[in-house]
Chains A and B, each alone.
Chain A
Amino acid sequence: AQRVTQPEKLLSVFKGAPVELKCNYSYSGSPELFWYVQYSRQRLQLLLRHISRESIKGFTADLNKGETSFHLKKPFAQEEDSAMYYCALSGTGTALIFGKGTTLSVSS
């Protein structure tokens, strides 16, 4: 079955601390993995995708096919990173399968 699991509902960190948002997936094939972010009162927007291998707003994510994981990392959290983060995968076509999301709260 195709599934995305985000085990943490809430992650609270202090400003300047490292952040790791966990994502595990189940998919028979080679999916494309994404991280989407939703800031307060804003629409869902793409943060990064594994095929582009880029760093956005200091966030990176590495696809680990052996562990079927795509964890999102940032070395030093900022208060403006506080948001809801969704991990998603796409198989054939553009339909996305989302995890339930993790709320990241960064406090000073």
Chain B
Amino acid sequence: ETGVTQSPTHLIKTRGQQVTLRCSSQSGHNTVSWYQQALGQGPQFIFQYYREEENGRGNFPPRFSGLQFPNYSSELNVNALELDDSALYLCASSFQGLGGNTIYFGEGSWLTVV
């Protein structure tokens, strides 16, 4: 059982609103990444944080932003929500270092935009 936890598990927002999703990384992991998984699709990389700095970003607009805190927990913020933002948002953590890195996923936060 991995230690990546996400909250909330489900939420409903109205178009135009803002949302914050939270993630607690597995103990000892220094890297966190976020993925969006729409229905019937594979997860798509949003961005990655390493030691509190964004160090990689997928093809998502600036209204998707994030933070990583000193304890390596993380937030995903989405502004000006659109209907197409409805998806499962997955947080993943890993340790960047020697010996390769295994990525562990949380159970996700289901976001519905109406």
Contact = CB atoms under 8 A, between A and B. Distances in A.
Interface stretch (B16-24, B61-69, B74-82, B95-103): B95-103
B52 to A, nearest CB: 16
Q: Interface size for chain A: under 10, 10 to 19, 20 to 34, or 35 or more residues?
A: 10 to 19
B28 interface: no
Interface string B31-68: 10101000011111100100000011010000000000
B42 A100 contact: yes
B107 interface: yes
A100 B42 CA distance: 4
B2 interface: yes
B94 interface: yes
A97 B56 CA distance: 13
A29 interface: no
A11 interface: no
Contacts of B101: 94
Nearest to A84: B42
A93 interface: yes
Interface stretch (A39-47, A64-72, A75-83): A39-47
Contacts of B48: 93-95
A44 B33 contact: no
A86 interface: yes
Contacts of B90: 44
B103 A98 contact: no
B102 A46 contact: yes
Given A43-B107, A45-B105, A46-B102, A94 B33 contact: yes
B105 A95 contact: no
Interface of B: 2, 31, 33, 35, 40-45, 48, 55-56, 58, 90, 92, 94, 96, 100-108
Interface of A: 4, 6, 43-46, 49, 51, 86, 88, 93-101
